[in-house]
Each structure stands twice: as C-alpha cells, then as structure tokens.
Amino acid sequence: MLVENDFEIKKLTSFKIGGKVAKMIFPETVDEFVQALEEYPQAFVAGNLSNTLVSSDGFNGAVISTSKLTEIKIDGTRVLAGAGVRGPKLSQTVAEAGLSGLEFMIGFPGSVGGEVYMNAGANGQCIADVFKSAKIYCSEKGLITLTDLRFGYRTSICQRENYIVLEAEFELVPHEGVKEKMDENLAFRKSHQPSLALPNCGSVFKNPEGNSAGRLLDECGVKGLEVGGVKVWENHANFIVNHNDGTSQDVINLMREMQKRVKEKFDIELIPEIRFLGEKL
C-alpha cells in the first residue's frame, strides 16, 4: 500500500489548512486497511477530510486514509459502497440506476465512511433512512458487520465505540424523479452553503435540540466576523471560510468567539460538528 512520510496534508483538506503528517497511509482494500490499523493502532482515520480541521503545526503520528476504498456495487435496489466513495459520486451513480434515497449526498463534499459515522443528512433524507449494514473495524473484535448503528441526529454508535466504517450497504427504492430531486438539492445547497472554491469545513456547530445553530449565531451578529485569515461566511453564520491563507489557530479562535457570543446571549453551549487533528489544537 502507498505510504508517504512528512506528507503535506493541507492539499487534501477542504479547509486548505494543515501542516505535515509524519506518516500518511493509503490502503486500497479492506484487508490492507485492517493491516494498517493493526500496525498503527493509534492512527487517526481520515476520509475526505471535509469536516476535519488539521493543525497548521502538523501531526506527529500516523493517518490512515479511506480515500482509495472507492468500489461501488449495485444489485437490484441494494448498493454497496466503500468508505472512500465521495457522496456526489455515489448519489450520481445510483441516480443513473434509477434509485432514490441518496439524493441528499449530491452536494456533500464528504465520503461514505464519514457520512455513515455521523448519520449525515439534508433536505428530508439521511443515512439512517436507507442504511442496511456496514463492515466495521473495531480494535477488540477486528472486522465485524453491523446492521444497527443506533443512529441519532448527526451521530451513531461508531462515535461512541470508536468503530471505523470501511464499507456500507444501502437499501434504496426505484424512482423516476431522482434527477429532478438531485437538481433541487444541489440548487438549495449552492444558495445556502459556500462552495469549496471558498475553502470551508461545512457546518461548524451542531444544531442544539429544537434550535438552529445558524439562527443563534446570526442573531449574535457574527456574519463577516474575521480572525486572521478566516471569517464567518456572510451568507450563513454557521460556516467559516478560509479566505486569506488562514491557520488552524485562526479557526479555533473564531470558533471560541462564536461560542462565547451564543453562550452570553442565549446561555446555550454550541458543540462543534467538525473534528480536530493535531496536538496543539
């Protein structure tokens, strides 16, 4: 499998932020992935790095990437996808087969492993609605298959048990209007979220129960707020964009200010939706 030392991870992250990673590993099969995890049990497992903030000081450890686990199999209404398959690619592939249930992925920059891990969703659809089973790596049992991941809002058992998703199977339904639904979702996303031409990490904070993080932040007047080379996007208060070669510390400082304002005004603690990698974060 491909292994690179002192890897410049910045080019892989959707935030375009991050220093050197001591060892970057790219398995091409599930067996290679298991081999890498057994060799580096403390490694950080990364997907498409679309919701991960990597320290500008780098990471003095191993990172195992799912990005080369990209196989897609369609058997009737059942779809099997590797953890590294990008959301838009899978959405388009199943749509061409006339299958509905994954239209929401069309505008997602992430990959299948991360989307199952966090029960991603949008526009009235989510992973839990179509999930059938997943091939999981767990340090105690090795490779296992689970049909119940105890999904909740932006969460699954994978987060609580440190399970790593390597493949996922979905049960979809035939539908003739899939393309139209995808186009609607993509148009909605373009009008409500920044494109990756403006480097960003997706939604910064989870929605508090019964509330909207974006609305709370908007009422705190954070739109356009800048710290260093990053700022809150002017069109939606729950997105931070890297508009001028920002650093990880710029992002952290801006997030803290956003949290502080919401806490002071509403007495609500905003919880980050993005993950962090690096000792100094």
Which residues are known to be catalytic? 154, 203, 273
Contact 257, 249 (CB under 8 A): no
Three-class DSSP category at 273: coil
| Element housing 65 (H / E) | strand 59-65
For residues 46-65, one letter each, b for 16 or more C-beta atoms within 10 angstroms of the residue's C-beta and e for the rest, the string is bbbbbbbbbbbbbbeebbbb
Q: 228, 239, 126, 128: which is closest to 185 by C-alpha?
A: 126
Q: Please state, in angstroms and rounded to a whole number, the distance separating the CA atoms of residues 105 and 54.
A: 24
